[in-house]
Amino acid sequence: MRNLLLALMLVGTHSVFSQETPTDKRKDLATLEGRAIISTTGEPVSGVSLALRALPPGTDTVKVASDADGRFSFEEMEPGSYILSASRSGGFLAEVYGAGSPGSSGTPLTLSAGQVLTNIEFRLTPLGVISGTVVDDRGNPMSGVLVTATGAASMANRIELSNDAGEFRFSGLAPGSYTLMAIPSEGPQPPATRATTGEPEQSETRLVAAYYPSAADAAGAIPLEVVRNYRGSRSLFGKRPSTTYGER
């Protein structure tokens, strides 16, 4: 009887498990695959944060990261239109797929039912660098000078101080045109004036603000154009001397 009972229990257990079937995946879901690369060299970029946002705005967003080969994959996506964006800290511009310029909306990607969209190539724009040296009218490097870089597109200022060797460096610059200005530590000085008292004059040489390369005002400045992956050559500022006059 014991053997018979055990056999019946085993048969019953087998019968229960044989009735279980795995849940079928939805066949109407889509997949999007691609690769993140450097726009200028074609090299893969790992650790890129990619976001696939469904349209219209306000709907779900799915995020993934690129692997060591720059590859990424969005799986089991609902059919529809999406906006793909990418960002990575450390030298790349945050961008939208298909955008012709920073700030534009980009090109929507449409996924149909069951589609596997492959070979999406997301080209990341490396940010630029401008570096240089601040010198006085004799060519001596000047430390502690405030240097500003103003972008023509955004009019936003970036500010750096020159080091002990007179050097400054602006990194992480988006492509565009920039105007550089050096301001003395004592601040901008008023135009030179001459005393009219008839007394002997005593001159005092002071430094005034200068625009790159050595202009007295913005009209004489030469903007620097930062292109993709730009590494600006060292720029020399000629800090302009200004002579003011006063009484003894």
What is residue 105's predicted lDDT score, i.e. its pLDDT? 82
> Around Cβ 142, how many Cβ atoms within 10 Å?
19
pLDDT tens string 54-65 = 998 667 899 999
The domain defined by 25-124 carries CATH number 2.60.40.10: yes
pLDDT tens string 25-78 = 788 999 999 999 999 899 999 999 999 999 986 678 999 999 999 999 999 999
Considering the entire predicted model, what is its pTM?
A: 0.64
- The residue behind tokens 């990607």 is 109
CB of 206 closer than 8 Å to CB of 242: yes
50 vs 195, residue with greater confidence: 50
> Tokens standing for 93?
């511009």
pLDDT tens string 198-233 = 555 555 556 788 999 888 888 999 999 887 655 554
CA gap 52, 77 in Å, rounded? 10
pLDDT tens string 131-187 = 999 988 888 899 999 999 999 877 778 999 999 999 999 988 888 899 999 998 765
Computed from CA positions of residues 21, 23, 26, 31, in that sequence, does the dihedral angle turn out positive or negative? negative
Reference 86, options 99, 77, 75; nearest CA is 99
Three-class secondary structure assignment of 187-199: CCCCCCCCCCCCC
Question: Hey, do 25-124 and 128-246 end up sharing a CATH topology, with the first three levels equal?
Answer: yes
Domain spans in the chain, listed from the N-terminal domain onward: 25-124, 128-246
Cα-based angle 26, 32, 37 (whole degrees, multiple of 5): 160
The whole-angstrom distance between residue 64's C-alpha and the CA centroid of its chain comes to: 19
The whole-angstrom distance between residue 218's C-alpha and the CA centroid of its chain comes to: 27
* Homologous superfamily in CATH for domain 128-246: Immunoglobulins (2.60.40.10)
